């Protein structure tokens, strides 16, 4: 899940994103990140919620096992 939300005025950027697992929608939006941080956002500051697909599997190496030279 990606949550885009407004930051307090006066900063260098008006918005930021947090990526993680959505744990709660009300009364605040709560997201747990991959490094186990918990981010709480007031619902009124949320600009967009977007579901992400499953995390891709990373494979080591550069080819399949079927393509080994003899």
Q: Which two tokens stand for residue 12?
A: 């260098």
pTM: 0.74
d(CA 49, CA 38): 16
The residues that bridge with 15 in the sheet, in sequence order, are 6
Q: What is the mean pLDDT of residues 58-62?
A: 74
* pLDDT tens sequence across 26-52: 999 999 999 999 999 999 999 999 999
State the average pLDDT for the chain.
89
């Amino acid at each position: 899940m990606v949550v885009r939300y407004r930051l307090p005025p006066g900063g260098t950027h008006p918005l930021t994103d947090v990526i993680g697992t959505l744990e709660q929608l009300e009364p605040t939006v709560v997201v747990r990140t991959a490094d186990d941080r918990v981010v709480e956002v007031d619902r009124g500051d949320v600009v967009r919620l977007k579901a992400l697909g499953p995390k891709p599997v990373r494979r080591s190496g550069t080819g399949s096992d079927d393509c080994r030279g003899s």
